[in-house]
Amino acid sequence: MVNFDTRTISSPVYDALKKLREATTELTKLKEQKNQSIELYTYLATWGLMRLKAEEKALSQQGKIDVVKKYFQCLEDISSQQNLAGNNGLETIKNLSADSYLGLTGLGLQIAQEFAFWANAIYHDVTGDN
């Protein structure tokens, strides 16, 4: 029987968001970070990994960009799939086999759920829209 420790996913997400929060002082960026962290799951479930990675280049708000970059770094670290977080991440995702893409998407959805949970805990004192 394989023992799966849920901290394998929770800990990297918690650490990433905590460091992002500690490095940000501007209230507008904090709100963007919190909102983007909460919205990741819905975006990913609706549009998929390829579009989320492409969206990273199209985002104009720095707080949102920071979260998407942290998300892909967590996905790369947890999945051990190289070259997801960098500039070639879209090519990496595009070239995955169907099975690998679906598996990575499933893991990505779990990671996105963690981002939403930890955003509410870490940004508990940040309220309102951007």
Domain coordinates in residue numbering, the chain:
7-122
pLDDT in tens, 31-60: 999 999 999 999 999 999 999 999 998 888
CATH 1.10.520.30 is held by the domain 7-122: yes
Rounded to a whole number of angstroms, the distance between the first and last alpha carbons of the chain is: 46
Q: Report CA-CA distances (Å) from 57 to 32, 86, 91.
A: 16, 11, 13
Decide if 108 contacts 44 (C-beta within 8 A). Answer: yes
Mapped onto helix, strand or coil, the DSSP state of residue 127 is coil
Instruction: Choose among 39, 60, 41: nearest CA to 49.
Output: 41
Mean pLDDT for back-to-back runs of 10 residues, the chain (130 residues): 70 96 95 96 96 91 94 95 94 96 95 96 85
Decide if 17 contacts 115 (C-beta within 8 A). Answer: yes
State pTM to two decimals: 0.92
